[in-house]
Structure 1
Amino acid sequence: MITGVNKVVLTVRDCDAAKAFWVDRMGFTVAIDAAYGEDARWLEVMSPDGAVSLVLDGKGAHHPVDRALPAELPHSNVFFTCEDIEQTHAELVERGVSFPEPPSKQPWGWWSMFEDQDGTRYALNQRG
């Protein structure tokens, strides 16, 4: 029986820049950063609660961000969650994370968006 999701692959332009963003700004930790095969690198960062790892895939030259999406929508289908969105927003802004969409109350709950080092927009919502 499937019990959950623990790894998500994110396509990035530059692994080192992505590593710096997710570790220094978002508070993730490096789980694995190792070479394998010919010119390949496995770079995995873990969320502060240890529940999810992001595999930062910089192998491809193509970065799949659809810039034609409306500004109020995220580029990624990965939604991040937190316990207190206003506090999380304030902490991440202080660390230099860009929020094109500040926290706002929606009919389905609290919602916001932030951008990574490549300008990819991710959704952030508050649990509960």
Structure 2
Amino acid sequence: MISKVGQIMLYVNNQDEAVSFWTEKLNFAVISEENNGQGMRWIEIAPKKGAETSIILHNKAIVAKMSPELNLAAPSLMFFTENLENLHKELSSKRIKVGDIVNMPSGKVFNFADNEGNYFAVMEKINNF
């Protein structure tokens, strides 16, 4: 039986730029980095505070060669924050492309784009999560 989501694979064109985006602009931490010595490198990142799930940054071109049948599109991810307005202002000040804050039945939400144009969403969750 599956008990939780462990890792999410994110296939990127430039791993170093992706690491910089997530760590410098979103304050994620690098958890680990592996390299098999044959071109396959993966970097595990996660929010610095309380993350149970991490993101693995893979080189899209290398994975496409190894497994051409895989769907390498960015996953649709929803992140949570306790203060949506502050995060929206912070990301905007860092020149990250952000969408408008929208009121949804489940709470306030906005989207943002990474340095490769992949969009992700953030929802305000005030409860302990």
Correspondence 1:83 to 2:57: no
Runs (4+) of structure 1 moved beyond 6 Å?
Answer: none
Partner of 2:91: 92
TM-score between both structures, scaled by the size of structure 1: 0.80
Q: Equivalences for 1:1-128 in 2 at 5 Å? A: 1-51=1-51, 52-60=53-61, 64-65=72-73, 76-99=75-98, 101-128=99-126
Between Structure 1 and Structure 2, which shows a larger proportion of helix residues? 2
Question: Percent same amino acid among aligned pairs?
Answer: 27
List runs of 5+ in structure 1 lacking aligned partners.
66-74
* DSSP 3-state at the match of 1:98: coil
Native 8 Å contact 1:25 1:96 kept in 2: no
TM-score between both structures, scaled by the size of structure 2: 0.80
Query: Deviation at 1:79?
Result: 1.0
Residues 85-113 of structure 1: CA distance to partner in whole angstroms, max 9, x if unpaired? Answer: 111111222222210x1212122211100
Size of the aligned set, in residue pairs, is 118
Partner of 2:67: none
Native 8 Å contact 2:60 2:72 kept in 1: no
The separation in 2 between residues aligned to 1:48 and 1:103, in whole angstroms, is: 24
Query: Deviation at 1:57?
Result: 1.0
